[in-house]
């Protein structure tokens, strides 16, 4: 990026409006604008701050790998179901072919599908952690997401490990039609097995979580945690507005709204996430805590 | 246009109108026109057969929502006896969009749970067009857990456009209510038989649809999103609903081919609404077969079989095994 001024570099993405979700995976210059307070932030500074706006504390979206690297210890990690790939059984085609959408998403994100599952450690405590890649077709849940989720649960059951999932998803993947709906039942049934085995599952809700993901695995944590200000709900705000023809209340479907209505246990700042989840998991599994 | 017939059925409606006219004339005259009426009736049947042989997914979607289509309570009256409706989630309210209670089918007690739409305007509003709120799902859950305690098989009837997308529903945890049902239904130690009788609308349908046997009426639908919703997101135009219906493969026949649906129950000629009794009898027969079959399984076997069914709803490429 030589020549021109920095404004030119940020302008195209600012104009897009949905820049927040796209930019996580696309490096475009040294500056980034906070989608909430419009502050222009020096990118290295933003990264040092875990992609939380230093001016307004807005938690920007981050991709799945970044999420997991913030959460898991450095050191040996193994990926679960890495080689599993989506199959377009229905030969689904809307304005574009599903196959082409998949290829484009794979190219954009470098991932085969929208859920990444790693076995590793959190402050020394062995866990399985999964994170949705929102950049991959809006983090939508199809068969691969379901399959990786089930295999992660299998790994937890075999090795008696806790499971943590960071959700960020628009819901079920329409292009896989009823198969995607069935992933709601599959993942929920898998979590019942975690419960039967007495193994903890913590669900972390990050901006945004809607539809089929919200109405299945994401709300089924033994403990439900959210990042501040995340949008979380069953139906999208536009659908609700069209149905009830009412203006939505201020702060509707934000993490703080969910906490107030009893849907989640706590809101945790990104910088405190790792230690908080570790403490909760250690307490639930009777593992030692580091001396204060 | 005759409102009792859908748009694609209008040629049948015209023929039926002609028959009706002849009947009226016949009543007042001495001429014997019964021969002519019979001829037209045969023609009407032939026409109905030919129209219904090649229905598009969109036409089937319309049939699934036909205003005269039999609803859960219509089956309850015909398939079961000794029904006592049970109300309320014990926490907040009773949701009329879901009806539930204990009944007998050929002498055997079962728990029946189903979405319920209304017929009159007033009733439609009271039933919220068959769109449950969290308290509806929580009522269903309460009664399913009760069924387990008393070893009653669970029979569900699915017929909803979807879970209600409203402010109050969100405030009371629509997502959690649906999610919890999915999780708990996967472990219930009694047989669960689900029948899609009309619209199987997404998570709102699945929330009473995790089961050991999934059957659909021939002209019912089951999909992850309504054709209109899918069209407005993916095609950016709700007018493309017929295309979306086709692409999603939401019909009973297609879902049976895909291996998601276990059985398709044939409907009377012209659809279930043309003959409630015949349709109910088919539903009754199929339920009896499944109650026998699933009733013979030990509870542990039933639960592990159910999990295997769910785990099998997958289309992926790649190596089996966890890591």
Q: CA of B182: which chain A residue's CA is closest? A: A185
Give Cα B224 distance to the centre of its chain: 14
State the SS3 of chain B: CCCCCCHHHHHHHHHHHHHHHHHHHHHHCCCCCHHHHHHHHHHHHHHHHHHHHCCCHHHHHHHHCCCCCCCHHHHHHHHCEEEEECCCCCCCCCCCCEEEEEEEECCEEEEEEEECCCCCHHHHHHCHHHCCCHHHHHHHHHHHHHHHHCCCCEEEEEEECCCCCCHHHHHCCHHHHHHHHHHHHCCCCCCEEEEEEEEEEHHHHHCCCCCCEEEEECCCEEECCCHHHHHHHHHCCHHHHHHHHHHHCCEHHHHHHCCCCCEEECCCCCCHHHCHHHHHHHHHHHHHHHHHHHHCCCHHHHHHHHHHHHHCCCCEECCCCCC
Q: pLDDT at position B321, please?
A: 59
Q: What is the pLDDT of residue A13?
A: 42
Residue A37: band (very low, low, confident or very high) from pLDDT cuts 50, 70, 90: very high
Checking if the pLDDT of A3 tops 60, the result is no
Tell me what pLDDT residue B22 has: 86
| A215/B163 Cβ within 8 A | yes
Report the pLDDT value the prediction gives residue B14, as an integer from 0 to 100: 92
Q: Which helix (H) or strand (E) holds A43?
A: helix A43-48
A8 or A28, which is more confident? A28
Q: What percent of chain B has pLDDT over 90?
A: 88
Instruction: Taking the CA atoms of A99, A101, A106 and A111 in sequence, report the sign of the dihedral they define.
Output: negative
Q: What is the pLDDT of residues A80-118, one digit of tens each?
A: 999 999 999 999 998 899 999 999 999 999 999 999 999
CB A53 within 8 A of CB A60: yes
- How many CB atoms within 10 Å of residue B122? 9
Question: Would you say the C-alpha torsion A214, A217, A218, A219 has a positive or negative sign?
Answer: positive
| Partner-chain contact B167 A252, CB within 8 Å | yes
Distances (CA, A) of B201 to B2, B198, B315: 27, 9, 21
Overall average pLDDT of the B5-22 stretch = 90
pLDDT tier for residue A7 given thresholds of 50, 70 and 90 = very low
**Cβ-Cβ contacts under 8 Å, B138 against chain A:** none
Question: A215, A240, A242, A253: which to substitute to probe chain B, counting the most B Cβ within 10 Å?
Answer: A215
Q: How far B44 CA sits from the closest chain A CA (Å)?
A: 36
Q: In angstroms, what CA-CA distances link A37 with A9, A57, A224, B182?
A: 19, 9, 27, 39
Smallest CA-to-CA distance from B249 within B47, B94, B20, B57 is with B57
pLDDT at A252 over 50: yes
pLDDT at position A18 over 90: no
State yes or no: pLDDT of A130 exceeds 80. Answer: yes
CA atoms A29, A35, A41, A47: torsion sign: negative
Report the 10 Å Cβ neighbour count for B275: 16
Contact between B306 and B193 under an 8 Å Cβ cutoff? The reply is no
Query: From CA A115, how far away is CA A144, in angstroms rounded?
Result: 8
pLDDT of residue A14: 40
Query: Would you tell me how many other CB atoms lie within 10 Å of the CB of residue B107?
Result: 7
d(CA B262, CA A174): 22
Per DSSP, what are the bridge partners of residue B199?
B221
The pLDDT of residue A21 is 47
Q: Between the CA of residue B181 and those of A165, A264, B8, B192, what are the distances in Å?
A: 20, 18, 38, 13
Q: What confidence category does residue A141 fall into, taking pLDDT thresholds of 50, 70 and 90?
A: very high
Taking a contact as any Cβ pair under 8 Å apart, which residues of chain B between 152 and 171 contact chain A?
163-167, 169-171
pLDDT digits (tens, 9 = 90+) for B216-258: 999 999 999 999 999 999 998 889 999 999 999 999 999 999 9
ipTM of the complex: 0.95
Q: B97-145, pLDDT tens digit by residue?
A: 999 999 999 999 999 999 999 999 999 999 999 999 999 999 999 999 9
pLDDT band at B29 (very low <50, low <70, confident <90, very high): low
Give the pLDDT confidence of A155-189 residue by residue, as tens digits. 999 999 999 999 999 999 999 999 999 999 999 99
**Which residues make Cβ contacts (< 8 Å) with residue A34, sequence separation at least 6?**
A40, A41, A53, A55, A56, A58, A60
Q: For residues B175-197, give the mean pLDDT.
A: 98
Q: What is the CA radius of gyration of chain B?
A: 21
Question: Could you tell me if A263 lies within 8 Å of chain B, comparing CB atoms?
Answer: yes
Q: Test B165 with A240 for CB contact under 8 angstroms.
A: yes
Closest CA to A181 of B34, B189, B196: B196
In whole angstroms, how far apart are CA B297 and each of A105, A233, B145, B286, B291? Answer: 45, 39, 19, 17, 10
**CA neighbor of A141 nearest in space, from A105, A101, A99, A113:** A113
Lowest-confidence range among A232-246, B94-108, B197-211, B257-271?
A: A232-246
Judge whether B184 and B141 are in contact, CB under 8 Å: yes
Band (pLDDT 50/70/90 cuts) for residue A5 is very low
Interface of B with A in 198-227 (CB under 8 A): 202-203, 206-207, 209-210, 222-225
Residues A147, A181 contacting (CB under 8 angstroms):
no
pLDDT, position B24? 84
Distance CA B308, CA B291 (A): 19
Q: Please indicate if any CB of chain B lies within 8 Å of the CB of A138.
A: no
pLDDT of B292: 98
Residue A57 has a pLDDT of 95
Rg (CA), chain A: 19
Closest CA of chain B from A174, distance in Å: 7
Is any Cβ of chain A less than 8 angstroms from the Cβ of B178? yes
Give the best-scoring range by mean pLDDT among B45-49, B150-154, B224-228.
B150-154
Nearest CA among B82, B89, B68, B70 for reference residue B112: B82
Of B235, B249, B313, the CB nearest to A90: B249
Q: What are phi and psi of A116, to 5 degrees?
A: -115, 130
B106 touches chain A (CB under 8 A): no
Of A10-19, B3-12, B286-295, which has the strongest mean pLDDT? B286-295
pLDDT at A290: 79
Nearest by CB to residue A215, choosing from B175, B209, B317, is: B175
Q: Which residues contact B242 (CB under 8 A, 6 or more apart)?
A: B56, B57, B58, B227
Chains A, B: CB pairs < 8 Å: 215
Condensed to tens digits (0 to 9), the pLDDT of residues A254-292 reads 999 999 999 999 999 999 999 999 999 999 999 998 776
Does the structure show a pLDDT above 60 at B54? Answer: yes
pTM of the model as a whole: 0.93
- The SS3 of residue A178 is helix
Residue B104 confidence (pLDDT): 98
- Under a CB-based contact definition with an 8 Å cutoff, are residues A243 and B166 in contact? yes
CB contact under 8 A, B175 and A217: no
Mean pLDDT of chain A: 91
Tell whether A211 lies on the interface with B, counting CB pairs under 8 A: yes
């Amino acid at each position: 990026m030589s020549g021109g001024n920095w404004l030119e570099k940020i302008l195209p993405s600012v104009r897009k409006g949905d820049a927040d979700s796209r930019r996580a995976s696309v490096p475009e210059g040294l500056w980034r604008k906070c989608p909430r307070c419009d502050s222009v932030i020096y990118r290295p500074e933003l990264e040092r701050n875990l992609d939380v706006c230093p001016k307004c504390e807005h938690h920007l979206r981050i991709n799945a790998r970044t999420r997991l690297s913030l959460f898991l210890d450095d050191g040996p990690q193994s990926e679960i179901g890495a080689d599993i790939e989506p199959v377009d059984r229905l030969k689904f085609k809307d304005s574009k072919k599903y196959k082409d959408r998949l290829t484009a998403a794979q190219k954009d994100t470098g991932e085969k599908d929208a859920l990444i599952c790693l076995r590793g450690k959190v402050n020394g405590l062995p866990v399985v952690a999964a994170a949705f890649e929102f950049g991959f077709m809006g983090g939508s849940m199809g068969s691969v997401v379901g399959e990786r989720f089930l295999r992660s649960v299998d790994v937890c059951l075999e090795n008696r490990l806790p499971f943590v999932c960071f959700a960020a998803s628009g819901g079920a993947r329409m292009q896989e039609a009823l198969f995607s709906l069935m992933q709601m039942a599959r993942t929920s049934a898998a979590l019942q097995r975690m419960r039967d085995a007495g193994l903890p599952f913590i669900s972390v809700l990050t901006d945004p979580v809607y539809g089929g993901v919200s109405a299945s695995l994401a709300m089924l944590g033994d403990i439900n945690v959210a990042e501040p200000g995340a949008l979380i709900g069953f139906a999208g705000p536009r659908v609700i507005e069209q149905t009830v023809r009412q203006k939505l209340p201020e702060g509707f479907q934000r993490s703080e709204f969910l906490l107030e209505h009893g849907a989640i246990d706590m809101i945790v700042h990104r910088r405190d996430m790792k230690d908080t989840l570790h403490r909760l998991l250690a307490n639930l599994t009777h593992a030692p805590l580091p001396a204060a | 246009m005759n409102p009792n017939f859908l748009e694609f059925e209008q040629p049948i409606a015209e023929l039926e109108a002609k028959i009706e006219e002849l009947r009226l004339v016949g009543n007042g005259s001495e001429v014997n026109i019964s021969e002519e009426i019979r001829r037209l009736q045969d023609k009407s049947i032939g026409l109905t057969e030919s129209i219904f042989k090649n229905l598009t997914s969109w036409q089937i979607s319309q049939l699934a929502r036909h205003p005269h289509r039999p609803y859960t309570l219509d089956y309850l009256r015909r398939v079961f006896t000794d029904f006592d409706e049970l109300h309320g989630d014990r926490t907040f309210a009773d949701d009329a969009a879901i009806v539930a209670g204990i009944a007998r089918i050929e002498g055997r007690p079962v728990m029946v749970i189903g979405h319920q739409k209304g017929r009159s305007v007033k009733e439609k509003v009271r039933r919220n067009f068959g769109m449950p709120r969290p308290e509806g799902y929580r009522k269903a859950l309460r009664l399913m857990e009760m069924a387990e305690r008393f070893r009653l098989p669970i029979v569900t009837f699915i017929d909803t456009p979807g879970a209600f997308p409203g402010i109050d529903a969100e405030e009371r945890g629509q997502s959690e209510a649906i999610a919890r049902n999915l999780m708990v239904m996967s472990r219930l130690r009694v047989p669960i038989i689900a029948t899609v009788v009309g619209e199987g609308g997404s998570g709102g349908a699945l929330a009473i649809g995790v089961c050991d046997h999934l059957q659909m009426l021939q002209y019912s639908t089951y999909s992850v999103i309504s054709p209109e919703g899918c069209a407005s997101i993916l095609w950016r135009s709700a007018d493309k609903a017929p295309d979306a219906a086709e692409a999603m493969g939401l019909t009973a026949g297609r879902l049976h081919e895909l291996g998601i649906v276990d059985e398709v129950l044939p409907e009377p000629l012209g659809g279930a609404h043309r003959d409630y009794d015949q349709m109910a009898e088919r539903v009754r027969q199929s339920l009896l077969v499944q109650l026998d079959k699933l009733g013979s399984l030990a509870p542990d076997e039933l639960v592990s079989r159910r999990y295997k069914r769910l785990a099998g709803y997958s289309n992926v490429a790649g190596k089996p095994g966890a890591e």
